[in-house]
């Protein structure tokens, strides 16, 4: 029986980490990787992350039983288009690792309608401010949530197959609809990145008037703004891809800030105390 053939497309931080976990969990599978530039391909072969590398995506794709796309979301959608023009193996299982899910799941359903292709959206919810295969790790996703989103092109058994393939990531797999995924990550991840970047920008603006300000940005400010150092490429893409949910969160947050502003202006000390007390209790009870 031929070896199961897995294609990791995009050997960056996420693609490299998935390749490591798949090869380590399934040494008997043939794992190949597509990457545009040569250095990550050389690295992956030297480190034995994969068995084969190429800059020819089509050559690897037509041989694959499973293909995982690890690009920015819009680029992954272009690769789906490209895949639809190839003679892929019957019932090939395609997934991705992008940070938003509705756009790509909808695109896959449209692109592969009526074809013998299975698609499950994926989002391993761990990462790093580092990029590239050199920063990849087999344990990057250990104990992290790994969201799998169904599509009209997937059945329950397909989830078991994908979870088995990715078992060595030691992630906690959760199934959510693409819509649920994007709504929740807007609240817990995408919108907080907007706030962190805005806090840094606001402080920088103020420092133009009082230059010593930035020296006083201590622990609390640093905790709240660490994520402002994330990749602008990745985050502008995410905001474009999940704009509706993020705009909704900005509107809700404006209302919350205005409510606190009213309490402060009116010097309602008891209500302000209750506001902080509620937040403290909720924060301490968070999972
Ligand atoms: P990365 O920058 O480390 O890797 C990106 C990959 O895309 C590289 O292999 C690069 O060669 C390839 N690529 C970029 N433009 C290309 C082009 N025009 N043609 C061909 N290849 C191209 O990024 P990453 O962190 O691995 O992110 C990959 C995906 O995973 C993104 O969708 C990202 O949103 C998602 N993600 C990232 C994190 C994180 O924290 N880094 C976490 C979860 C999910």
**In the sheet where 52-54 sits, what is the strand order?**
52-54, 30-34, 5-9, 66-69, 92-96, 117-124, 145-149, 172-175
Predicted confidence (pLDDT) per residue in 44-84, tens digit: 999 999 999 999 999 999 999 999 999 999 999 999 999 99
Of ligand 1's listed atoms, the one at least distance from the Cα of 14 is 26
Predicted confidence (pLDDT) per residue in 194-243, tens digit: 999 999 999 999 999 999 999 999 899 999 999 999 989 999 999 999 99
Of ligand 1's listed atoms, the one at least distance from the Cα of 231 is 41
Report the largest interatomic distance among the alpha carbons of the chain, rounded to a whole angstrom.
76
Give the per-residue pLDDT at 145. Answer: 98
Model ipTM value: 0.97
CA of 135 to the centre of ligand 1 (A): 12
Sign of the CA dihedral 210, 211, 216, 219?
A: positive
Query: What average pLDDT does the chain have?
Result: 97
Average pLDDT over residues 125-134: 87
Q: Whose CA is nearest to atom 39 of ligand 1?
A: 127
Of ligand 1's listed atoms, the one at least distance from the Cα of 133 is 3
Of ligand 1's listed atoms, the one at least distance from the Cα of 126 is 42
Rg of the chain's alpha carbons, rounded to an integer?
22
CATH placement of domain 181-285? 1.10.3660.10
Average pLDDT over residues 95-122: 98
CA of 204 to the centre of ligand 1 (A): 29
Per-residue pLDDT at 166 exceeds 80: yes
Percentage of the chain lying above the pLDDT 90 cut: 96
92-96 vs 66-69, strand pairing mode: parallel
- Provide the whole-model pTM: 0.94
Q: What is the DSSP letter of 186?
A: I
5-176 fold: Rossmann fold (3.40.50)
- Beta bridge mates, 66: 6, 93
Q: Which residues line ligand 1 (CB under 6 A)?
A: 10-15, 35-37, 70-73, 75, 97-99, 123-124, 127-128, 131-132, 234
Q: Whose CA is nearest to atom 18 of ligand 1?
A: 75
CA of 11 to the centre of ligand 1 (A): 8
Residue ranges per structural domain of the chain: 5-176, 181-285
3-class secondary structure, 95: strand
Contact at 8 Å (CB) between 21 and 166? yes
Q: Give the pLDDT band (50/70/90) at residue 1.
A: confident
């Amino acid at each position: 029986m031929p070896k199961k053939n897995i294609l990791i497309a995009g050997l960056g931080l996420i693609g490299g980490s998935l390749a490591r976990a798949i090869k380590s969990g399934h040494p008997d599978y043939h794992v190949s990787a597509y990457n545009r530039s040569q250095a990550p391909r050389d690295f992956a072969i030297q480190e034995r992350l994969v068995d084969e590398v190429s800059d020819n995506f089509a050559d690897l794709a037509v041989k694959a039983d499973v293909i995982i796309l690890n690009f920015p979301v819009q680029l992954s959608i272009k690769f789906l288009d490209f895949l639809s023009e190839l003679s892929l193996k019957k019932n090939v299982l395609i997934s991705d690792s992008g940070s938003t899910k509705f756009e790509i799941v909808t695109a896959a359903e449209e692109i592969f309608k009526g074809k013998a292709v299975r698609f499950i959206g994926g989002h391993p919810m761990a990462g790093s401010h580092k990029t590239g295969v050199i920063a990849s790790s087999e344990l990057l996703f250990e104990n992290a949530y790994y969201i799998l989103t169904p599509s009209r092109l997937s059945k329950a058994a397909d989830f078991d197959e994908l979870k088995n393939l990715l078992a060595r990531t030691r992630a906690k797999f959760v199934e959510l609809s693409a819509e649920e995924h994007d709504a929740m990550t807007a609240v817990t991840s995408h919108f907080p990145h907007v706030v962190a970047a805005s806090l840094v920008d606001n402080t920088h603006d103020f420092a133009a008037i009082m230059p010593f300000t930035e020296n006083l940005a201590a622990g609390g400010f640093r905790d709240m703004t660490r994520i402002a150092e994330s990749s602008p490429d990745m985050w502008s893409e995410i905001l474009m891809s999940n704009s509706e949910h993020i705009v909704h969160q900005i509107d809700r947050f404006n209302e919350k800030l205005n409510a606190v502003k009213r309490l402060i202006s009116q010097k309602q000390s008891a209500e302000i105390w209750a506001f902080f007390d509620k937040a403290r209790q909720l924060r301490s009870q968070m999972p």
